[in-house]
Structure 1
Amino acid sequence: MTVAVLALQGAFIEHEQMLDRLGVAHIELRQATDLKQDFDGLILPGGESTTQSLLLHEQEMFEPLQKRIQDGMPVLATCAGMILLASAIEGQDAAHFATFPITVKRNAYGRQLGSFHTVSEVKGIGEVPMTFIRAPYVSEAAPDVKILAEVDGKIVGVRCGNQFAYAFHPELDQDTRIHELFLQTIANS
């Protein structure tokens, strides 16, 4: 099993370190030629979603990755990654990949000073540490979306098919279970 990590901008190194801890091979996606490598799943890290989308287009990686996601490739998206997958973004006319039938609110918890850490339940996993940094949340979800986690009445973890999206940064904490669930999904697909 090999996992590709989008490495254009954001917290991709932390995801790679988590995969290293779990003994999972990984590659970085930085340019279109990287897509020629074999990989079984994709991680879209936190960072700045608009910048990541712009770089995906500039590097001619946007459409090929969008097609792989639409075709069922397992994806783990955190923070900005959730925004990249969402089919709608509050206050914006356009979405990015638009493969996940959710509406997200960007910077829902305010600017950097609104960042926080908590522990809360993720369905199927149990209580996990959650670090929120300029995080979004899900304001609307289609009926086929499974709600995995909520904090203070806001949806912060969702699954639809092979796509997982979390508003927080599991890669910044020591708990590996969110990544393990993603890897199990890859193994089963």
Structure 2
Amino acid sequence: MDEIEPRLRGLMLAGLAGEAGPYRRLLDELSGLLRGYYGRRCPPGVDAEDLVQETLIAVHTRRATYDAGQPFTAWAYAIARYKLIDALRRGRAHLRAPLEAADALFVPAGADAAMARRDLDRVMADLPARTRDLIRDVKIAGLSTREAAEKHGMSETAVKVAVHRGLKSLGGKYGGSPGDED
């Protein structure tokens, strides 16, 4: 998923800019992904190929609604999910799955990670770039403070202070007032 999203997003942006070749490649690649998506989810009586074509048409007709700041695959799979739901309603077909597995029926592999990255980007957008990078390196990528300090040309103490202040700022903004111990 990590390598698919940037490629498809780039093709979509090029298509939105009026480039026919990249847009055609986008639709070709997307059709293959949709075949796999619907192939795993369509019960007997629901034609996966029809859904692929309906989804490609919907992507094409709604392409102007795509927000370039958001992941393309999440947007495209949301359209695909709605097309599947519509087909199931039309055919009175029902998917049988345990309730706890319901999300897995409609969420493509890696979508949770893409949505989490998007949310994290939004939350950390107000932090200075260096602080964002340090928090990502130390708290998300798992680098030690020493490794992060070497990477950014800082002292370990400066890294610890920057990460602490950045997290404190985020906590103040999203986690309640700084004095809350709840």
TM-score above 0.5: no
**Going by fraction, where is helix more abundant, 1 or 2?**
2
Higher relative contact order (CA 8 A, sep 6+): 1
Higher gyration radius (CA): 2
TM-score when normalising by structure 1: 0.24
More strand by share: 1
TM-score normalised by structure 2 residue count: 0.25
